[in-house]
Amino acid sequence: MFLYVIFFIVIIGLLSYLSSPTFKGKMGESVVIDQAKRYLGEEYIILNNCTIPDEQNGTTQIDHILISPYGVFIIETKNYTGWIFGSINQKHWTQKIYKKNYRFQNPIHQNFKHLKVLEQILEDVVVPEYLHSVIVFTSRSEFKTVMPEHVCRGKDWITHVKKFNQEVIPAMKQKRIKYRIEKEILEPSWKTHRTHIANLQQKNTLSID
């Protein structure tokens, strides 16, 4: 009987995790990683799940940083289903699933903050105009409003990135960029994750106040 109880608890916990935003986010990120490996050449270097100190908010978490001769791409992944509504200047966007609406932070604004953090880290290495924001919604979603070019669905982000085809960052400087970023990244751990979540919760509380 005791073993059945333990098994039941484990199953409930697993189902809860599989339906959690954290798991869905990780699944979306894994899709982007796989697409990068499939469709981008060896000249692209990808860093994933980068938690970096941020003077303003404590920490910031960047899903992917893509370093290439053609620029540095800061990628925010959204693994959402349903219809997506939003515009550049709106503070929140809307996800519609059947008759229910859910608000979420404008990912353009969210990724702009990520970009500014990297600008500070790389200020003496690369000029800001070589840093590019890319928002990737997985193919499980459908845009219902006109989205900017750098907001992509499915593997369209690959096409967008490949539009940058002029070599502007030499190989040696790419190595410096990678080293500089890796030097700032906090070691992946439960403690790092919890600290980042606490910073987000504090930020949300302050914004409400």
Give the pLDDT confidence score for residue 70 in this predicted structure. 98
Inform me whether the pLDDT recorded for 36 exceeds 70: yes
pLDDT digits (tens, 9 = 90+) for 85-103: 999 999 999 999 988 999 9
| Range scoring the smallest mean pLDDT among 23-32, 34-43, 66-75, 168-177 | 23-32
* Residue given tokens 């697993």 in the structure block: 14
The CA distance from 62 to 67, in Å, is 13
Chain centroid to Cα 168, Å, comes to: 24
Residue 156 in domain: yes
Residue 167 in domain: yes
In eight-state DSSP terms, residue 188 is P
Residue 119 in domain: yes
Hey, what's the torsion of the CAs at 71, 139, 135, 110, to 10 degrees? -150
Task: Determine the average pLDDT of the residues in 56-74.
Answer: 93
The CA distance from 4 to 1, in Å, is 5
| Burial of residue 185, with CB atoms counted within 10 A of its CB: 0-12 exposed, 13-18 middle, 19 or more buried | middle
Residue 55 in domain: yes
Residue 205 in domain: no
Residue 17 in domain: no
Residue 182 in domain: yes
Q: pLDDT tier at 4 (50, 70, 90 boundaries)?
A: low
Q: Are 51 and 182 in contact (CB under 8 A)?
A: no
What is the number of domains present in the chain? 1
Domain housing 56 = 41-189
Q: 76 — phi, psi (to 5°)?
A: -110, 125
pTM over 0.85: no
Residue 20 in domain: no
The CA distance from 4 to 21, in Å, is 28
In eight-state DSSP terms, residue 154 is T
* Of 7 and 100, more confident: 100
The CA distance from 87 to 93, in Å, is 7
Query: β-strand 151-153 against 141-143: which pairing, if any?
Result: unpaired
Question: Sign of dihedral through CA atoms 96, 97, 103, 107?
Answer: negative
